[in-house]
Structure 1
Amino acid sequence: MRKPIKKTWMIASVLTLGMAVYMPLQAGATSAETTKDVTIQIEQQIKGTIKYIEGDTITIKGNDGKNYYIGFHKFSEEQLENMNFVEGQEIFVEGSIVEDYSDFYTFEVYKKSLPKEITKEELTKLEILFNEMKTLDKEEKYDEVEKIYLEMEKITKPYVLANWQPGSLEEYLEDFGFSEKNIAIQQKDKEQLKVVYEEWIKLKKDGKEEKAQEKFDEFYEIIQPYLDELYPPQTFEEYMSDMELDITKEDLAKLKTIYEEAQKADNDSNDELSEKLWNDFYGIISTYFKPVSFEEYMSDLDFKISETDSKQLKQLYEEVLALEKQGEDEKAVEKWEAFYNILDPYFEANKEILISASKLTINGHDYLPQH
């Protein structure tokens, strides 16, 4: 069981609000020299085995027993492809410790995604805005972050639009997969879609966002009947087919009625009624779910817990299940808090140390960032 950790990133084209901050207080691999007012960070050298792979980051279990979250954001996409990470591989990494997941995303990393036509003066302005945005993000001033992002977009968007080469309507429609289901779009609709699609592209290139969005909505109004055919609503029987639950005939009949009423409410955009019906639906189903055992709940922990703590945790877990079954939700929450008061120090002691990689050795090959 991995305790959920939210890792969020600002990216060049999309604004992501709410970066989580995790400070490696006990960073086991930390090595630094301090001279008066200057701290010099020494590169870490880590050997270990890959546990998880996620885009341009990996998690490894070091030979020292510690967990490391390694960011390869300084490396090119071509290099990452050539690295060909596989879970279970042994690797050797050199890099520096960073304090926050967002610290992987430096201006140098952001700059790699920018159009080449951007001028030096604009790069300088973007760097100032970028650093200001990251500071505001750490201060959780998200409204201010969005304002800064829009300022940056004013600089980058004209270049992005100038370089944008949209595909043809046929290519766009092909991605939906209509042909795989033998769904043919009528000629008159296809002609109308072509006109709207080309108008949408022109409006986007001219930077007329509101009118472009109107055209985008118009496009989907035309194509919606074909999407409904491509993705027909699930019947109640199809929805329930994967649920291995021993539900009584009486409750199955109730569930089917609620399910069909909820789907109708969804189609009618009656959000209030839809929410009530789906809550009723899952309220009935939830009574048939069997809670997992304590052993199963804890089975994917990647660290050991003392025998004493394990006994306490098991007792608290079973008390939680009993309270939830009785509908004593507030008391159950108190027990969960006690449960994690015992477990949290283990997560803290085993949390990932964040490393920004500057060199990788894998399969006998050395990789250095390409500048």
Structure 2
Amino acid sequence: MKKTIKKSWMIASALTIGMAVLTPLQAGATSVEPTNGVTVQIEQQITGTITSFNGVGVGIKGRDGKNYYISFSKFSDEQLKQMRMNIVEGQEITVEGGVVEHYADFYTFEDYKKELPKNVPNEELTKLEKMFSEVKKLEKEASKTKEMEEAEKKYEEFNKIWEEMYKITKPYIIASWQPQPFKEFLENYGFSENNIVIAENDKKELKDIYEEWVKLEKDGQEEKSKEKMKAFKKVLQPYLDELNPPETFEKYIEGVNLEISTEDLAKLKDIYEDIQKAEKDDNYELYNKLSTEFYNILSQFIIPPTFEEYMSRYEFKVNKADSKQLKQLYEEILKLDKKEDSTKVEEKWGAFDNILEPYFEANREILISASKLTINGQEYLPR
């Protein structure tokens, strides 16, 4: 578990920031001294035990006792699919690769460029590369920022630049876009696999809307295109509800497992159903407003974890003196949180994190971009 960015006990363990900022030499990689006097970093080999797998990389505990995160970003989707079948926690893995500074470095401009159409001119690529560097810088800065408001500002700027990049690439994407035939587009939803039959009149209406949507997309008429897709989803919604029935309030509240008063249960049910309707109507402003209201009521019945339960989420143990200080701060935070004294809560969480900082530092993951993997004696090289 990593250091918290949001300082409320209800979400402190859910919202985390990346912590890994190590140079290659700190990670113990080998280097050589060429005749011209310039030091060149070469890739290192690590053997360890897999501790976690998230689909695109693994956490491992190295034989050297250090923690590593190994990214598979250089490998193809086909290779990842094959590897997923062979990766098990507790299994030994040998990795060759280079150390990177930050999680953001796993996705390079070259990776981004591969996703673009081939018809993007060099002068536009030059602009995009500069903008790409800026978004990566903002991403790193935001992940290291302790204050939520400051982090949010950086992410807002991050999103603005991505939007500008999309504006540059969109004409080229549209020009090279080959829309799926309607039948194929509809099949992607998986209705036939689940024996859901779409009425012929609805299918005809959907086909007409889809073809109009394609024309609007090709003409770059974004607003009209969005409205057309809304109309498409409106016709399709009953079939989508049959395919993925919305979770009932009763089922949801059963999973929450809280003792809630009858009066508040009735309020929550009404709001829950309104939230589902707002989501169907794509009314995100109302959806967010109602969701906040829902969780404000629900939060009154959530019992915060004890200090010992909270600390058990960390992979490391703290010494007795630090544990005593942390427990005192944690209990003060819970009292202040009930009074909704957010300023003082933030200050206390800051003091809490400062005590834990050396432990985070000592347990920081070393980030490796893998260029060769050996699992169960089978070698994998990027394609």
Asked if Structure 1 and Structure 2 have the same fold, meaning a TM-score greater than 0.5 normalized by the shorter chain, the answer is yes
Q: Deviations over 1:292-314 (max 9, x none)?
A: 12222122322232232222222
| 3-state SS of 1:24 partner | coil
Distance 1:58 1:127 in 2: 32
Confirm or deny that 1:352 pairs with 2:369: no
Q: CA deviation at 1:262?
A: 6.5
- 2:262 is the alignment partner of 1:252: yes
Alignment counterpart, residue 319 of structure 2, candidates 306, 315, 319: 306
Q: Paired residue for 1:49?
A: 49
Aligned to 2:328: 315
Residues in 2 aligned to 1:113 and 1:275: alpha-carbon distance in whole angstroms:
32
Does the C-alpha gap of structure 1 residues 297 and 359 become closer, same or farther in structure 2, counting only changes over 3 Å? same
Tell me the distance in 2 between the aligned counterparts of 1:361 and 1:265: 48
Q: Is the contact between residue 107 and residue 127 of structure 1 (CA under 8 Å) also seen in structure 2?
A: no
Distance between the aligned counterparts of 2:137 and 2:66, measured in 1?
Answer: 30
In structure 2, the residue matched to 1:29 is 28
1:316 partner SS: helix
> What SS does structure 2 have at the residue aligned with 1:79?
helix
Q: CA offsets per residue over residues 201-241 of structure 1, 9 Å max, x none? A: 34435555444333212212333455466667665544422
Q: Deviations over 1:27-54 (max 9, x none)?
A: 3324445778844112121111122222
State the 1:127 CA deviation: 5.0
What is the distance in 2 between the residues matched to 1:361 and 1:135?
32
Match runs of 1:142-153 below 5 Å = 142=158, 143-153=160-170
CA contact (8 A) 1:136 1:145 kept: no
Aligned equivalents of 1:3 and 1:75: distance in 2? 30
What secondary structure sits across from 1:220 in the alignment?
helix
- Please point out which of 85, 88, 91 is paired with 2:90: 88
How far off is 1:191 after superposition?
1.9
Structure 2: any 5+ residue segments left out of the alignment? 6-16, 139-156
2:323 and 2:222 mapped to 1: Cα distance?
A: 57
2 CA distance for matches of 1:202 and 1:41?
52
Task: Verify the 8 A CA contact 2:371 2:381 in the aligned structure 1.
Answer: yes
- Counterpart of 2:186 in structure 1 is 172
2:266 maps to a residue whose letter is K
Structure 1: distance between partners of 2:374 and 2:289: 56
Deviates more, 1:336-345 or 1:225-234: 225-234
Q: Using a 3 Å threshold, how does the CA distance of structure 1 residues 195 and 95 change in structure 2: closer, same or farther? A: same
AA aligned opposite 2:130: E
Structure 1 residues 1-371: aligned runs within 5 Å: 1-3=1-3, 23-24=21-22, 27-33=26-32, 38-83=38-83, 84-114=86-116, 118=118, 122=120, 124-125=122-123, 127-140=125-138, 142=158, 143-159=160-176, 161=177, 164=178, 166-169=180-183, 172=186, 175=189, 177=191, 180=194, 185-205=198-218, 207-227=220-240, 236-247=249-260, 251-257=261-267, 259-260=269-270, 263-264=273-274, 267=277, 279=292, 281-370=294-383
- In the alignment, the residues of structure 2 paired with residue 21 and residue 138 of structure 1 have an alpha-carbon distance, to the nearest angstrom, of 15
Gaps of 5+ in 1: 6-18
Q: Provide the C-alpha distance between the structure 1 equivalents of 2:288 and 2:164, rounded to a whole number of angstroms.
A: 34
- Distance in 1, Cα, partners of 2:374 & 2:362: 27
Identify if the C-alpha distance between structure 1 residues 260 and 295 changes in structure 2 by more than 3 Å, giving closer, same or farther: same
2:131 alignment partner AA: M
Distance 1:283 1:79, change over 3 A: closer
Query: How many Å separate the matches in 1 of 2:79 and 2:288?
Result: 48
SS in 1 for 2:95: strand
User: Identity, % of aligned pairs?
Assistant: 47
- Residue 21 (structure 1) shift: 8.7
**Which stretch of the first structure deviates more once superposed, 47-56 or 135-144?**
135-144
Aligned length: 347
In 2, Cα distance between the equivalents of 1:78 and 1:236?
A: 39
The equivalent residue for 1:16 is none
CA distance in 2, matches of 1:28, 1:114: 34
Once residues 56 and 284 of structure 2 are traced to their aligned partners in structure 1, the CA distance between those partners, rounded to angstroms, is 39
Normalised to the residue count of structure 1, the TM-score between the two structures is 0.76
> Aligned-pair distance for 1:345?
2.0
Contact persistence 2:22–2:366 (CA under 8 A): yes
Rg: which structure is higher? 1
Structure-1 separation of matches of 2:226 and 2:91: 47
Check conservation: 1:24, 1:353, Cα contact below 8 A. yes
Tell whether the 8 Å contact from 1:2 to 1:300 is kept in structure 2 after alignment.
no
